[in-house]
A and B are shown apart, each in its own frame.
Chain A
Amino acid sequence: MNRIEERFARLRERQQKGLIIYIGAGDPDLEATRQLALAFDRVGVDVLELGVPFSDPLADGLVNQLAAQRGLDAGATPPRVLETVAAIRRESHIPIVLYVYFNLLHRRGVREFIAEAARAGVDGLLVLDLPPEEAGPYEALMSEAGLCPIWLIAPTTPEERIEQIARHARGFIYYVSREGVTGMQSWVSDTIAAMTAKIRAHSSVPIAVGFGISNADQARAVAQHAEAIVVGSAVVNQIAERGRSRDLVPAVAAFVETLARAIKS
């Protein structure tokens, strides 16, 4: 069984909500990424979503764009990101999903990228700009490699399409809770309950809700409607504020721990 599926099975047994944390790889450098991942594992993060830096992240808001730029400046190429995953894997079983733009797979070769990701210890891929219609052999290759393809569902996704996407889902379904790019919001969308109910009608795969969750109160509110929540920009923002300072890892881990406590207690 894939580590993501294993983790959600365990969460279900314990009747606990899952916490998924996004950071950009190589922000501020790959060693920091490794240390952050290990620290997240210790404070109760269930899945690490690791952004592979891309030059043109058109689905990302400014906070994550700047993180991708720092990652590129730090030399976080796909092979080096995979080396970092392998290094994390030597010390931790935390499930890892790569958040990646399709051109990086396309350039390497979809088959090769997936095989190398699996070998490094990656558990799933979330390819931002690859809808099921264009996926071609992607799904079969993922399944062969034992990786979960993480599909997105958005507020604009109509019901027939939800059904179609849900049929392909493994690991978890990522519900993007509002139209827009990644980024923090002061409010939580009011369509979450209705949309997660629609998704559930077509799939028993766990649902993770993300886009815009930035504090413990929002985390708690959203977690009522889903098996897991995703927090990204709020964490990336903390990393950006601390940069290469010595308290980067403990400080960011402490923030993440408040989110874990909020949804798990």
Chain B
Amino acid sequence: MSVTAPAIPSLPDAQGHFGPFGGRYVPETLMYPLMELEAEYFQAQQDSAFQAELSYYLREFCGRPTPLYFAERLTRDLAGAKIYLKREDLLHTGAHKINNALGQVLLARRMGKTRVIAETGAGQHGVATATVAAMFGLKCVIYMGAVDCERQALNVYRMKMLGAEVVPVHAGQKTLKEAVNEAMRDWVTNVRGTHYILGTAYGAHPYPVMVRNFQRVIGDEARAQILEKEGRLPDLLIACVGGGSNAIGLFYPFLGDPAVRMIGVEAGGEGIRPQKHAARFHGGSLGVLQGTRSYILQDEYGQIQLTHSVSAGLDYAAVGPEHAWLHDQGRVEYGYATDDAALEAFTRLARLEGIIPALESAHAVAECLRRAPEMSKDALIIVNLSGRGDKDVAQAAAKLNLAMPS
């Protein structure tokens, strides 16, 4: 078994298409800036000095590589497959988001931009962006839905402490989608001096491919680690999917290994009924939103539908175009976990393993709770623990009716 991943079809194409998905659907003002970004990114990707700088900060500042941890008690409890957790929650700032934020801030510096902006849902990408902006002394503005500011208040304070300006967005349903709209409006207005650090494998080309490539470090490490620990590839990979950056980061290096099954887990919210979930592959249809063509939740006229999830990071009406492609190819399965299932997984992982996961990652854990018992004891599962749950503690305590000791 080779340690490096086998070659896989090279997508996207030159225009950023993954089959019928992806592309670049933006107002004209952004077309040239996106082309410049694309040129700069592909140059940087080939530049060994850039790659060396990126690896240096990933190691010394972020804490890579992250462990591939054998979840012993969880495995015993479920009495099925052997479960490994890819511990992205141990990264600096507490989630995988920093992998991409760091890559993009180095790119922004290379392009001579002095200001960075970002959208954020759960606040983890906002914190990661504020962190790398502080590190390099760049001005930073984060757009965040007003509802998300409330439910992820801890992260709002963190961003402010890091010197970022946090702008609450009051339009629409006041969550991630509206934050993206507002970030794009800022970018279109300040495009000459500002880089938009988009936080997920979504949006206009080159964002989906660029974010995937900055996140593939997760899968590259996991692949080498499982080969070292078990001497073979895993049978199943599980990751939660909002826009889909942690999932594509884990999946991508395994795409050329046909024996490795993969499941992306969307937010099932209160169940698959209009406006009560964010499971784009279970109630969505083909559409164009915020720069790309993919599966989206929309009404009969193409207006974007409201979404719901207990997890702010998965509460989004569209999914990354590469996931849409992998879905249609049948390469990756996409399931969903409801709010209740995610909360149960959240508690269970805390009690069994001493790890409080982010509510987003708890969706992946929930899928693992269902799958592992059906698999044989020598089967191997890797669950991407994309972030830690500190930010969710207050919200989860309220949902779980935890009382303060008196």
Contact = CB atoms under 8 A, between A and B. Distances in A.
A176 B178 CA distance: 24
Interface stretch (A7-15, A83-91, A99-107, A195-203): A99-107
A250 interface: no
B25 A108 contact: no
A180 B288 contact: no
Given A58-B181, A65-B171, A179-B190, A106 B29 contact: no
A56 interface: yes
A107 B287 contact: yes
A72 B303 contact: yes
A65 B172 CA distance: 10
B24 A161 contact: no
Interface stretch (B217-225, B294-302, B341-349): B294-302
A134 B180 CA distance: 21
A45 interface: no
Interface residues of A, number: 40
A102 B184 CA distance: 16
Nearest to B23: A134
A37 B290 CA distance: 31
Contacts of B5: none
A131 B25 CA distance: 6
B288 A103 contact: yes
A254 interface: no
Given A104-B301, A106-B287, A106-B288, A134 B32 contact: no
A58 B301 contact: no
A55 interface: yes
Contacts of A176: 27-29
B188 A54 contact: no
A251 interface: no
A247 interface: no
Classify the secondary structure of B's interface with A. Answer: mixed
A104 B298 CA distance: 10
Given A56-B177, A103-B287, A106-B302, A156 B26 contact: no
Contacts of A130: 25
B27 A152 contact: yes
Contacts of B180: 58
B28 A152 contact: yes
Contacts of A54: 302-303
B101 interface: no
A54 B287 CA distance: 13
Interface in A116-174: 128-131, 133-134, 151-158, 161, 165
Interface of B: 15, 23-33, 171-172, 177-178, 180-181, 184-185, 188-192, 286-291, 293, 296, 298, 300-304
Interface of A: 54-61, 65, 72, 77-79, 102-108, 128-131, 133-134, 151-158, 161, 165, 176, 179-181
23 contacts: A56-B181, A58-B180, A58-B185, A60-B185, A77-B301, A103-B288, A103-B296, A103-B302, A104-B301, A105-B302, A106-B288, A107-B301, A107-B302, A129-B291, A131-B24, A131-B26, A131-B28, A152-B28, A152-B29, A154-B31, A156-B30, A176-B28, A180-B185
